[in-house]
Amino acid sequence: MGRWNSTSVPGFILMGLTDSAETQLVLSVLFLLIYLITVLGNMGMILIIRLDPQLQTPMYFFLTHLSLLDLSYSSVITPKTLQSLLTSTKNISFLGCFTQMFFFIVFGAAECFLLSSMAYDRYVAICSPLHYPVIMSTGLCHALLTGSYVISIVDSIVNVLYISRLHFCNSNVIQHFFCDTSPILALSCSDTSEVEIIIFICAGSNLVLSLVTISGSYVSILSTILKINSTAGRKKAFSTCASHVLGVTTFYSTTIFAYLKPKTSYSLGKDQVASVFYTIVIPMLNPLIYSLRNKEVKSAAIRVLQKREGSRQLKS
């Protein structure tokens, strides 16, 4: 077959996760359940924080947007994956494929920076509690959020433009369940070394910058906590960070495994397992992590429910 590029590609074929009809049925039911929990959990988190006056703080401002990112992140991947599992339609247009890739990179990179902003927020809260209201001002919170999106969008544009300019030959079959960078590069008959370096630099810079911020924040937090004489004080300080540490660990462990490596080490089975985890499972886990381990969120949920129940009784 001849060489074809972005101007002549009619579309791609997503092979998905398995060829077994029975396994596809099981996965479709599982992923649908996970997606429903993801939508309900993240929407519930957003509503609780928005409706409760006591949660109008920088930490919950970032948590609201983390839930919004997780909801968007999952919605970019899961509906198309469910369609492929439930129907024989595995085709995706060239435009659709790179649109999915664009938003996937935007939301994924933005989550990296948002997690680092949350770590900085915890650093200020524990290490400089008296200056917290001044440092973590509304202006700074909005600046950190805006910066996260701007950098992520630029990063995504660079990645998508370079990859879409590649030539492809012999096959348009993507050995994956969504349009990710590694399986797309594997289809190209062009020299992808330059593109791989660009992707590695972009992904590596995002991860390193955010991880350095997170690590530096928690080194300072740990140092401050160890200086606290009261056991109850230490426990309270640890509890304010526990959910974020768990969320960071689950997100970065799979992301680093999937992206900070050359194309030659791409393994279909291992990469698909990691991809399912960080694209479908983690967006479901985050609202559970930040709500079940957070007394303030649970108390706020009770207050919101009681308020709604009281309003119903008054109306009746």
* Mean pLDDT within 257-264: 59
Q: Tell me: pLDDT of 193 over 80.
A: yes
* Mean pLDDT within 102-123: 93
CATH of domain 21-315: 1.20.1070.10
Give the per-residue pLDDT at 2. Answer: 41
Residue in this structure with the two tokens 């701007």, named with its chain if needed: 150
d(CA 291, CA 45): 8
Give the per-residue pLDDT at 55. Answer: 83
Q: What's the longest Cα–Cα distance across the chain? A: 72
Residue in this structure with the two tokens 């300080």, named with its chain if needed: 237
Q: Tell me: pLDDT of 267 over 60.
A: no
Could you give the percent of the chain with pLDDT greater than 90? Answer: 35
Q: Tell me: pLDDT of 257 over 50.
A: yes
Could you give the percent of the chain with pLDDT greater than 70? Answer: 85
d(CA 236, CA 225): 10
d(CA 125, CA 136): 9
d(CA 83, CA 154): 30
Give the per-residue pLDDT at 235. Answer: 77
d(CA 65, CA 70): 8
Q: Comparing 114-128, 163-177, 299-313, which segment has the lowest mean pLDDT?
A: 299-313
d(CA 266, CA 182): 7
Average pLDDT, the chain: 83
Give the per-residue pLDDT at 270. Answer: 64
Task: Place 3 in a pLDDT band, splitting at 50, 70 and 90.
Answer: very low
Q: Comparing 4-8, 152-156, 234-238, which segment has the lowest mean pLDDT?
A: 4-8
* Mean pLDDT within 48-65: 88
Of 292, 18, 50, 13, which is closest to residue 174 (Cα–Cα)?
Answer: 13
Give the per-residue pLDDT at 7. Answer: 43
pTM (2 d.p.): 0.86
* Mean pLDDT within 283-311: 71
Residue in this structure with the two tokens 């935007």, named with its chain if needed: 106
Q: Tell me: pLDDT of 305 over 80.
A: no
299 vs 310, residue with greater confidence: 299
